[in-house]
Amino acid sequence: MNQTVEPTVRKMETYIEGFFWLLPNLGLALLVFLLFLGFAWISKWTVANMARHRGRGDLGILLGSFVRWTIVVLGLLVVATIVFPSVKPADVLAAMGFGSVAIGFAFKDILQNWLSGLLILYRQPFRRGDQIKSGEFEGTVEHVEARATLLKTYDGQRVVIPNTDIYTRAVTVRTAFPKRRSEYDVGIGYGDDPDTACRVILAALRTVEGVETDPAPEALAWALDGSSVNIKVYWWSDSRRAEVVHSQGLVLSAIKQALSSAGIDLPFPTRVVLFHDQTEETDGDRTRQREGWPEGDRPPRPRHLNKIEVNSRDGDGDASSADERGNGGSSKRSSGRGGAQRQSTARGGHDRADRT
């Protein structure tokens, strides 16, 4: 029994003696680690304050956190060499090299987002409070974090977009400049003068609050549409979303009132349908009906609503044709020396011209 317990007792005594031997090292290591922690906190606070004074608060927070963790990791390495004197710093750095590769693969997306956030904050394509559009999302930038950018949409929702998506995709910064141009198409009737309508529109725009005078608004005859002459109207306003929306509402209201007061028509969409051979004076006279018919004194001759043409060809190239007239139209079977063919009666509600 004593022979069984004796090795265990010796090991415990060895551990206890080793612990007492390590006590000075542990105390020194704890003191060194506390010093590193204090230095890390002071470094983070210093970096964040310097960046904040330069108007780069988000960048200061990100860089301060990076500096703090770097100092903490360095302190752990120093503590490890103090507690375990046999551990060499070169061995620790080599182990960290292999470990960093493994960590890099394991946290690839996190590191990409962190680096993208750092580059966004450093280059500052936009700032906190800017209104941007990225992909299908649009809103005001609330904060740029280490992993994602926070947007507040115009309807009061929060969107979290990974920094990698922001950095690698196209981003439209709506408030990059103090003024933004808006445009709208206004349709007038074909019987109205476009130049007169443009002058009326410009006079109306000069009275609208929120429309900038420099650059001045413009109105140009732009397109001949199916039922209207389109005039494209340009004006400049404050680049913020609320100002753009409000100015557009005021502009459209002013344009509508001005054109109506000037007697200029604002037509509805119109479709013209032409019916031939009806009950007009020119009924049946295709030399006088010009809509849809070719010009000339020899227009296509009319044909009956029910007509069949049966072409049967044999080896000699013979052909035959037949006409059928009836109420509803039916099918006719014709046969020749080369075989039999079946054709259906033509049905339709319009007169059609035969090929000449």
Nearest to 202 by CA among 210, 192, 193, 213: 213
pLDDT of res. 73:
82
| Predicted pLDDT at 353 | 38
- Do residues 197 and 188 make contact, with C-beta atoms less than 8 angstroms apart? yes
Segment holding 146, helix H or strand E? none
What is the Cα–Cα distance from 320 to 314, expressed in whole angstroms?
11
Q: State how far the Cα of 235 lies from the Cα of 213, in Å rounded to an integer.
A: 9
- Residues in contact with 342: Cβ distance below 8 Å, sequence separation at least 6, in sequence order: 331, 333
For residues 34 and 198, give the distance between their C-alpha atoms in angstroms, rounded to a whole number.
76
* Res 355: pLDDT: 36
Nearest to 204 by CA among 267, 243, 266, 259: 259
pLDDT at 226: 83
- Contacts with 314 (C-beta within 8 Å, 6 or more apart), sequence order: 336, 337, 338
How many CB atoms neighbour CB 201 within 10 A? 25
pLDDT at 13: 64
For the entire predicted model, the pTM comes to: 0.58
pLDDT value at residue 279: 53
**Which one, of 324, 327, 316, 317, lies nearest residue 345 by Cα?**
324
Per residue of the chain (356 residues), give pLDDT as tens: 456 666 666 767 676 666 666 677 777 888 888 888 888 888 888 888 887 777 777 777 778 888 888 888 888 878 877 777 776 666 666 666 655 665 666 567 788 888 888 888 888 889 889 999 998 999 999 988 888 999 999 999 999 999 999 988 899 999 999 999 999 999 999 989 999 999 999 999 999 999 999 999 999 999 998 889 999 999 999 999 999 999 999 999 999 999 999 999 998 887 777 655 555 565 556 566 555 555 566 666 655 555 555 565 554 444 444 444 444 444 433 333 334 333 333 333 434 334 33
Residues shown for the chain: 356
**Nearest CA-CA partner of 154 in 141, 143, 142, 139:** 139
pLDDT for position 280: 57
Q: Which amino acid is at 297?
A: D
Instruction: Please report the pLDDT score of residue 172 as a whole number.
Output: 94
CA distances from 271 to 53, 227, 238, 350 (A): 65, 8, 39, 19
Domains of the chain with CATH codes: 8-106 (1.10.287), 126-173 (2.30.30.60), 179-261 (3.30.70.100)
Measured CA distances, 182 to 111, 133, 170, 192, 219 (Å):
40, 17, 21, 25, 12
Residue 87 tokens, joined: 């551990």
